[in-house]
Structure 1
Amino acid sequence: MSDQQPQNPYGQQPYTDQQYGTQAPYTPPPHGQAPYGQPAYEHQPQPQPQQQPYAPPQYGQPQQPSHAQQQYGQQQYGQPPHDQAAYGPQAYDRQAYAAQGYDQQAYAAQAAHPPAAPAAPVPAPAAATATAPEAAAPAPAAPLAPNQRARAEGRSPIIPPGIQPAALTAALALLLALAAPLGQPVLCVPVVLLQAVTAAGWFRLNGMWPARQGIALAFLAGVTTDVALLVTDHGSAPLVAIATLGVWCLFVLVLQLRNRGSADERMSALTAGLTATALAVLASGQLAAQADAVTAGAAAVAVAALVRALPLPSAATLVLALLAAAGAGYGVGQLNGLDTAGALLGLAAGVCALIGLRVASYDYPSRFVHLTAGVALPLTLAAPAVYILGNVIG
């Protein structure tokens, strides 16, 4: 084997550490191309002369423009090199460009296609600006109605009338108890008031308002029964009530024949009218009953309504209301000679009163329903028990 090193097939010696970093001959690029390391200019004002070759910067040394490059840039564009404030205000002076022979056609071509300027923001109106903080603030939430709150909490839709209707019921019961010993003509006054409130409350409870004709017919049926009871004896009260109810139910039917609503509306109006008429006639039982029974029954209804409205658990108020009604009947019975039978009368009147309160609490009733049906139905439904038990006991 020979000790000679293999020859480079290209006839050149490999680079060494000493050769690396030295200046090597530079071959200029083809005509029309930018020299190595120089960016191409965007605007060519006129055909460029042949560029002079220049030596590229050596490796490991900072790249700075040579004297030829600085002279070339000053002759062609009248601008200082990049390291001498090339981006100052003078670089964009059009008069300086025109004085140096700047090509106006190239400038016009560039101006024909300017970059799209961003749209200026449209100022908001003064009113909208003034109300912007108010719109951003959340509107205060309206308080929920009792029925909405009960539905949101998953509770029963049955809402009792409350303490205020119970107080009105007690006041009306007191009028009945005080007027009963004074005779039928005086007792007729609170009974008529009871019939008016019953008729109006029942139509509103069924979602029918205004229903002036239906309410008027039901109320007139009750008043007609009162007048008939005043001219007859107590024994004929059932016959008077049935006869009056039959006649006025016929009037209600004729009234609904003139109704131009749909079949469902006519049926609902007919049902509500017949029921209201029957309740108004039923309230006349207070006028036909014995005076002592009316007093005991009214006291029992008043106490039962007040106890039922107490803020206690429903089961507790139910039991307490029945016990209170029986106790009130017994107490009043001791005063007017009913003895222990007054407790039975009071218990029966209390049961009817609680049924009336339950009916007036049905399906999210309104405040108007509570102040009409919630007030009258306990006394109205207790009238048959007062009449029947009063005749039996007396």
Structure 2
Amino acid sequence: MTDQQPYQPYQPYQGYDQQGYDDPQAYTQQWQGQTWETSVQPPVTAPDPAYQGEWQQPAYPQQPAPAPVPVPAVEPPAPQPPAGQAGYGPATVAGNARVTDAQRARLEGRSPIIEPGMQPAALTALLGLLLSGTAAVGSYALLVPLVVLQAVTAAGWFRLNGMWPARQGIALAFLGALVSDTVLLVAGRTQAPAAILGSLGVWVLLCLVLQLRSHAEPDERMYGLMATVAASALAIVATGYLGADPDAVTVGAAAVAVAVLARALPLPTPASVVVSLLAAAGAGIAVGEMTDVGTEGALLGAGAAVCALIGHRAASYDYPSRFVHFTAGVALPLAAAAPAVYMLGRALG
């Protein structure tokens, strides 16, 4: 066994006084280096109790808050209505259903008809003249402006019905028109009724099947079905230009071009319609004399103009937008005139 060392009492650190525990100055640290001269230092004042915390921050004098400046009440301006239309009602924040411009116009006794104007009429006339000129060249030359007409017809009808974007419906209607054109070119002009009606029947059935597979609400499905069927029908019916006699297409398309331009003149509606029909009949006679149609082109031109004005009227309904004017407003007059050109051409031929 090793010898046990005697117990040594704890020796405090040399920096502390060797005093007992009862002395309040015990274990007080004694600084050995230079210290501040407290006699020349400014006295330190106690911090504001309002700023006491973990970190002490100096108290700054508070500035008095400025007096509020009275602001005069400004009444908000009333919304400005579009040009040519009456003012709208006050804005609301309630959860009421949105009232469309056409519904508001009907409630206020105003007409919801806005005609496309001269610029869409000029585009219609240009497209009609292209149809008229290419018909004299051949079926494949006529196909180029006809395909443009069918594409614009499909897009314009969907937008006219307030359905946008509707890419699938537009593509489906346009595809039906291409199928109808292809069938007619393969079968020949003599089989035009079978090609057009057969394509239309198949496409209506296809639209019905696709809508039945939709997961939308029943009302929305029905609305989409009607829009798709109507757009497909208009685009497919325009194939009648391929099936009609080339001279009839030349006369009829030119008459539609003149009729739409005359309809866009700044005249009262009844006078504008009369002037349009007379101009179409005159154009039918003039162009008919250049072809084998002769003076009977007046009847052909007037009949095509009547259908064109119906299409023009449809494109003007329900406060259409500028996009509608430059699609449906351009294409519907020519698309609606295709059956008249085909039937009158056969009757007069």
Shorter-chain-normalised TM-score: which range? 0.7 to 0.9
Report sequence identity in percent. 62
CA distance, structure 2, for counterparts of residue 273 and residue 354 of structure 1:
23
- Alpha-carbon distance in 2 for matches of 1:233, 1:197: 25
1:178, CA displacement in angstroms?
1.3
Name the SS for the 1:231 alignment partner.
helix
Q: Give the equivalent residue in structure 2 for 1:144.
A: 82
Whole-Å Cα distance in 2 between the matches of residues 155 and 247 of structure 1?
41
Give the C-alpha shift of residue 143 in structure 1: 5.0
Alignment equivalent of 1:376, drawn from 312, 322, 331? 331
Determine if contact 1:147/1:157 at 8 Å carries over to the other structure.
no
Report the equivalent of 1:297.
252
Correspondent of 2:112 among 148, 157, 160: 157
- 1:252 corresponding residue in structure 2: 207
Partner of 1:235: 190
Higher relative contact order (CA 8 A, sep 6+): 2
Q: Could you tell me which of 295, 309, 314 is aligned with 1:340?
A: 295
Partner of residue 11, structure 2: none
Q: Secondary structure at the match of 2:187?
A: coil
Shift of 1:121: 8.0
Mapped pair 1:177 → 2:132: yes
Amino acid at match of 2:296: A
Structure 2: tracts of 5 or more residues without a match: 1-64, 88-101
Judged with a 3 Å threshold, the aligned counterparts in structure 2 of structure 1 residues 211 and 236 are, in CA distance, closer, same or farther, namely same
Instruction: Say if 2:189 and 2:242, in contact at 8 Å, map to a contact too.
Output: no
Q: Does 1:266 align with 2:204?
A: no
1:322 alignment partner in structure 2: 277
Matching residue's letter, 2:139:
Q
Please state how far the C-alpha of 1:337 moved relative to its aligned partner.
2.4
Q: Which residue matches 2:67?
A: 122
Q: Measure how far apart 1:258 and its partner are.
A: 2.5
Shift of 1:139: 4.7
Query: For the Cα contact (< 8 Å) 1:301–1:325, is it kept in 2?
Result: yes
Instruction: Name the CA shift for 1:146/1:360 in 2 (closer, same or farther; >3 Å).
Output: farther
Are the counterparts in 1 of residues 174 and 232 from structure 2 also a CA contact under 8 Å?
A: yes
Structure 1 residue runs of 4+, over 6 Å off? Answer: none
**What is the aligned counterpart of 1:349 among 304, 307, 323?**
304
2:266 to 274, 287, 311: 311
**How many Å separate the matches in 2 of 1:262 and 1:361?**
29
- Secondary structure at the counterpart of residue 112 of structure 2: coil
**1:123, CA displacement in angstroms?**
2.1
User: Could you tell me which residue of structure 2 aligns to residue 280 of structure 1?
Assistant: 235
- Counterpart among 368, 378, 386 of residue 341 in structure 2: 386
**Aligned pairs, how many?**
268
Q: Deviations over 1:238-265 (max 9, x none)?
A: 0011111122222211221222221111
Tell me which structure has the larger Cα radius of gyration. 1
Q: Distance in 2 between matches of 1:122 and 1:163?
A: 62
Q: Structure 2: which amino acid aligns with 1:319?
A: V
Q: TM-score, normalised to structure 2's length?
A: 0.72
Distance 2:241 2:130 in 1: 12
Contact 1:147 1:364 in 2 (8 A): no
The whole-number CA distance in structure 2 between the counterparts of 1:361 and 1:392 is: 31
Distance 1:154 1:121 in 2: 56
Deviation track 1:101-150 (CA, whole Å, cap 9, x = no partner) reads: xxxxxxxxxxxxxxxxxxx98324xxxx8xx68x8486585451556579
Instruction: Name the residue aligned to 1:218.
Output: 173
- The residue aligned with 2:152 is 197
Which amino acid in the other structure matches residue 162 of structure 2? G
| 8 Å CA contact retained: 1:304, 1:321 | yes
Partner secondary structure for residue 157 of structure 1:
coil
Structure 1 residue runs without a partner (length 5+) = 1-119
Query: Residue in 1 aligned with 2:142?
Result: 187
Larger displacement relative to structure 2 (145-154 or 251-260): 145-154
Match in the other structure for 1:17: none
Separation in 1, partners of 2:84, 2:154: 25
TM-score between both structures, scaled by the size of structure 1: 0.64
Q: Which amino acid is the alignment partner of residue 122 of structure 1?
A: A
